[in-house]
Homo-oligomer: A and B are copies of this chain.
Amino acid sequence: MTDHPLEWDAMNHGTPPAKDAAAQAAWDRSVAAHHALAARPGVTLQASEEIVIVLHPGFDTLDAIGPHYFLSSLLGATIHLATTGPVDEPVTSAGGLPLTPTTTLEDAPEAPTVLLVPGGDTAVLLRDSRAIASIRRLGAAAETVASVCTGAVALGAAGLLDGRRATSHWSVRHLLAGYGATAVDERVVTDGSLMTAAGVTAGMDLAIRLVARLRGDDYARFLELGAEYAPEPPFDAGTPDRAGAELTSLARDFYATVEYGLRAG
């Protein structure tokens, strides 16, 4: 649950609802728990990170929203949805979901705490030289540069993977070597200020690690519990090894046009 009824300011200066004794008791318990979480070693409950998530045409919704969910839970952090296009136009995901940007890549904070590039129809992004230049500029100034799925290929095109260890979706990970990276078969790869995630759902694992980096391990543990993040993949088929050679080969063929687009980008 992301519900955070009590912003830190409200806790310290606001007035409780006090509709009745039970409401007051619930409020008091929540306030005390906020303070208890803040007091745990290494935890920063309130801060003011500037987090930039890039919205590009055909981005994969879950690549962006998985991390967004966890990062938007951070009290005081600001999340900017930075479009590669005009700010007054929604950006439509690969799955057909339009998201409204809050800024453009050009107008995004110049030295963000985090720059995160989701994947999806990343070939379109690769052909947008202005967007790639903005990602290069923001990435050079960001404290942490992150990608999910094929978003790593855009980081590569922006020159941000050269000499670094990185990962991407299993079907295109081999392309990272073309950008000077060492491709690593791990779910989340951290190399200094660079954090790259494998395909789609790995963005959530990345985000929780990022929360730990920004706000402390116990804040991250708390969010894992709040999100009930103890997945039980119904078919245990989430990696090539687990899915087996036949289904993997089928999927690789299914995505052949994606891989072609990234190679040709």
Which residues of A does B touch, CB under 8 Å? 1-6, 17, 19, 22-23, 25-27, 29-30, 32-34, 36-37, 58, 60-62, 65-66, 68-69, 72-73, 79, 90, 93-100, 119-121, 149-150, 169-171, 187-188, 198-202, 204-205, 208-209, 212, 217-218, 220-222, 224-240, 242-243, 247-248, 250-251, 253-260, 263-264
Contact = CB atoms under 8 A, between A and B. Distances in A.
B228 A208 contact: no
Nearest to A17: B257
Contacts of A234: 188, 205, 208-209, 212, 220, 224
30 contacts: A1-B255, A3-B258, A5-B258, A6-B257, A19-B264, A23-B257, A27-B257, A30-B253, A30-B255, A30-B256, A30-B257, A66-B66, A97-B99, A187-B232, A199-B228, A200-B226, A200-B227, A205-B231, A208-B234, A212-B234, A221-B237, A221-B243, A222-B247, A222-B254, A224-B235, A225-B251, A226-B254, A229-B237, A229-B238, A230-B233
Copies in the complex: 2
Contacts of A228: 149, 169-170, 198-202, 238-239
Contact of A2 (B26, B60, B239, B240): B60
Contacts of A250: 33, 36-37, 222
A51 to B, nearest CB: 12
